[in-house]
Chain A
Amino acid sequence: MKKLNRREFIKGSATSTIGVATIASGISLTTFAAQPKETNPVTNEKRWGMLIDTNQLTEENIDDMVDACQQEQGWGGEEHSTGHQQAGWIKKLKVRDTTTGRISNLALMCQHCEEPPCVDVCPTNASMKREDGIVLVDKHLCIGCRYCMMACPYDARSFVHEDLTNQKEHMPRGKGTVESCTMCVHKVDKGEQPACVASVDSDAVIFGDLYDSSSKINQTLKKIQSTQIRADLNLNTAVRYSGV
């Protein structure tokens, strides 16, 4: 074997270092170059919303909506959670007028406010609103403090109290994080309707873009009287109700 003196050894190792650096810069360059086909980011040209007509909506409809939501998102099977710990992304609510005794049934879920109190109070930015108005929890950042649950005027959020397995592929859920209605964002991004809307045959629940003047929801909202629940809070909710 040829004896290497100090100078030759340093020369040799320097060449190999340069080689590594070239590979390394090649790697970083290609990382940014390889962009597979992805959809474009959502914009604020749209605002997704829902209109629920409580005159048309029957109690069975609401049960169907709750079932569809559970099926789609995989909540409701928590074995070790007690009553008030159970997840409730969408709830059946009975409202009674104390004077006349008139009872209306509401399906109540996250109202996807324009000014969401949950986002205001979140200490880690986990509670967030997408550009198209859908309010979500980023569970990667959620520390489970539950401030958002206290801030929400609609009691729309729940907390996962136990270890879960076998979640839906599109809906990761885990112990120690807060969750709520996502307006089936995974379906909406594909151009489909949320599961609860699809489960009702009639026009009792309409989903669409509130800004688009040709959309059914926009046209209906222009024609008929509708309300926001707790409109006094000025949250400008995306879920509207008529007939309440």
Chain B
Amino acid sequence: MVGATRGYRAFQAVNGFVLTVVVLVTLFPFVNIVARSFSGEQEIRSGQVNIWPKGFNLTTYDKVMSDAMFWTNYRNTVFYTVVATVIALVLTTCYAYVLSKRNLRGRGLLVGIAVFTMFFNGGLIPNYVLISSLGLRNTLWAIVLPNAISVFNLLVMKAFFESLPTELEEAAAVDGTGTYGTLLRIVLPLSKAVLATMLLFYAVSFWNSWFAGFLYMDRQELFPVTVYLRNLIAGATSGTDNNATSEAALQIAASIQAVTIVLIMTPIMLVYPFIQRYFVSGVMLGAVKG
């Protein structure tokens, strides 16, 4: 033990160094993007900007924030996120509650129907064909409905409901309260923590999603803001799908991309320190019985 302490102290020093590097490497791109967003275009182009703005100015922010389409798309993101989160939360709660009833006949089948979709899914093309045939293109529902229940979230919630004591529900049943009343007045008030976690899980995933909007929306004024950003950076990878737009996109200033990225990240960054622990506890709850 005496000999080990010295080696262990050396290990602790190395460990501290490694973790410091991890922290710096993780944070660097964020610092870099913020520095770029406040920098002048000339300074960025000549490769001078890393962690500190060069040629400090706010004109790029002005330019992006005065673009009406940016705000239209930003509002779309907020609207899509709110509607999708509410629907997802209601459907997930209902199904998770049903699945948590151990004595329910057919419960195994109901669980299996959900879990199977974790390991096998229809794939891109049949989904695309389905959404198009249902006439959901260019509607909010193309973004909301196909992702209305995440099976992972469902299992997290089911595990939580199963952990609740059954006595209260039994008492309510004796009093003649029906299932709906029990769920609304007894179970949900006890489930505020898991509801908050689910709300965050869904809200963040809908806020961040872009592909459904990219795939199913044809008109610019319907795009979520993530698609707005995608179209900006598509120019930077130089000429992906359609040459006509990418030529123009190539001209889009690096500083404009930086500002757009910062503006999209900001809401998540602001709430992140407060919500992070909910996510962590949610993941652990899901892992208990995944």
Q: Are A and B bound to each other?
A: no
Binding site for A on B (CB under 8 A): none
